[in-house]
Amino acid sequence: MSVDPRIAALIPHRNPFLWVDRIISSRPGFIITEKDISHDLDVFKGHYPGQPVLPGVLLCEAIFQTGALLTSLMRSGRPEEQSTKLPVITRIGGARFKRMVLPGDTIQMEVALKETILPAQFFKGTVRVNGKVALRIDFATTLVEPEKNPPTT
């Protein structure tokens, strides 16, 4: 399945590091997204050969990108907040991994805004697979201006 074109308009993430395919629903302070976990992801070649499991850090990234989408959607209704600023992770806490995500699964991410204390936003996120919790995590972001001339390697 292809990626929802709204996503590219809302966050800067692109393949191969885009971990959200669809926005299922959203309202102020809350969003649900999905990602289909393809059998042919390169990560499965090494994690683990013969017994592929999606790394937990990528589940976290899917939640963080969903949080970035929520932030962008909330700012889109307020022209005074439109800018080139990017939400970056400033805090991760309480990650609890409950079950594995395997090739062929579809994960559903829910992110809720808990609190805003400018310039930070605090979120609670959940990843579900087959309707069951795979990850619960709290995280915070801060909006920052991107570097005008990022270093190249």
Segment 41-80, tens digit of pLDDT: 999 999 999 999 999 999 999 999 999 999 999 987 654 4
Q: Into how many domains does the chain fold? A: 1
Total length of the chain: 153
Structural domain boundaries enclosing 53:
5-144
Q: How confident is the model at residue 28 (pLDDT cuts 50, 70, 90)?
A: very high
What does the pLDDT read at residue 76? Answer: 77
What does the pLDDT read at residue 146? Answer: 83
In a domain, 78, yes or no: yes
**Can you tell me which residue has the tokens 């594995």?**
100
Tens digit of pLDDT for each residue in 10-21? 999 999 999 999
In a domain, 153, yes or no: no
The whole-number average pLDDT for the span 129-151 is: 90
In a domain, 62, yes or no: yes
**Predicted TM-score (pTM) above 0.85:** yes
Tens digit of pLDDT for each residue in 88-116? 999 999 999 999 999 999 999 999 999 99
What does the pLDDT read at residue 3? Answer: 86
Give the active site residue among 13, 47, 99, 136: 47
13 catalytic residue (yes or no):
no
For residue 118, give every residue at least 6 positions away whose Cβ sits within 8 Å of its Cβ, in sequence order, or none: none
Q: How far apart are CA 146 and CA 58, in angstroms?
A: 23
Mean pLDDT of the chain: 92
In a domain, 49, yes or no: yes
What does the pLDDT read at residue 75? Answer: 85
In a domain, 124, yes or no: yes
In a domain, 151, yes or no: no
Could you tell me if 14 and 3 are in contact, meaning their C-beta atoms sit under 8 angstroms apart? Answer: no
CATH number for the domain including 31? 3.10.129.10
